[in-house]
Structure 1
Amino acid sequence: MAFKGRNPIMAAFLPSAWRPVAGLLPLLLLAACARPPGPAGAALPVAVAVAAPPSLDEAVLRRAAELGDAGAQTALGKLLLQKGSYFEPAPAGVDWLEKAAGQGSGEARLALAYRYRAAYCGNGPLARRDKCEKSRRWFRAEAETGDVEAMTSLVFMLPRPPFNDPAAAYYWALVRERQQGLPPTAWVEDAACLKAGLPGRVAQAEEGRANGWQVRWARAE
């Protein structure tokens, strides 16, 4: 059977029932490619648009977290924290972050510190502000590793209620300067402002403590 006007190469690879239309296939393919694009936000083909169910990522993270992977514990903890309310962090998320923090994860320590600060150190119910100490504890634990982000948080929060501890804030302001060889002007100004509000002997005591600080570099996770 002759295939006049058709593509003989394509016809050779098609079932016999399809061979009469072999020459039309390239035209159909070109027509499909030439279609104008859909409107912005149009749905992708089903094979692309269908995402894995949300629970799948959580299940994978949970398996790795249960095996002791600190990165997975941190990611799972942060994921579960999203399920809690603003004023009450989800206990399951906190538990996993604390496990990761116990293994030395700076990311987990900061996540705990920021979450506790948001929940307990702001303008929320007065009965919860005693838990603000948890935020300071985790920021301090991370600051002790040399993390200037954690130090900056301490400089900001310690002079304010409920801590009202400008002396400790001054100490961390000085340490933050030491941690960076050429500290930004804003850091120097922070320290100067805090010092101006302290009695001379208190400022000197904090300066003595800061002089004992050895520059530390947070270990890579």
Structure 2
Amino acid sequence: MNMLNAENLEQVTAKTITEIGNTVLPFGIKLKPTIPSTEKLYQTFPNDMKELFVDILTKKLSNIQEAAQVTTTRVELEIEMLRKASQEFDLYIPETFYKILNEHDVIEIYDVTTKNQLYRNLEFLDRSSYDLLTMLSHPYTDLFERSGDLGDRLTERSEWVTANESGPVSWDLPDHHLIEKKSPQKWKYLMKMGYVCPVFSTAPETEGQRIAWASTLQVQRVGFGAG
């Protein structure tokens, strides 16, 4: 990796994103091409950051390709990719969570302490006007605006479930809207909350500890802009 210069890193990034898109397309997941403004922004990133992006994308491609070889449906692909992600991050997701997954679920895993996102599937990218590199290279709050005052309630609910439940339970939160902030379209989505589930560590030093939570929701594009 250190032998690659900036131009080569950008080429590898673009090639890997294209391969990811080609791999998931037979499952009905369509990724958008990287927009020019993101390409220009990415060119300004230092090489060590580009190397990190290439590493993330290469691992994602490898997991998707391996999952695609042993699955035939979209839900099977999602389950297999989620299992691979849990192995990569030394996590145990209760088997009951896999059983409640539905087609078109947006699936995410977050570290309960740092609030960092550990995993997200590609479902939202199939609906959103954003491309994969834009989503990776911008903070979530720069890209989206959430309607209502759900931020604190999401945090409280996820932390409580992580500490107290043994498997997936309803988010028990109202549906809400999400609006794109950076895209010209400013697409607006109805976010229908699904399930939230505790995730446990399998790392030797923290085995069994409740360290993260997994979530499902469904997204429906309902219009443009605020209101």
TM over 0.5: no
What is the TM-score with the length of structure 2 in the denominator? Answer: 0.22
When you count strand as a share of all residues, which structure comes out higher?
A: 2
Greater RCO structure (CA 8 Å; 6+ sep): 2
What is the TM-score with the length of structure 1 in the denominator? Answer: 0.23
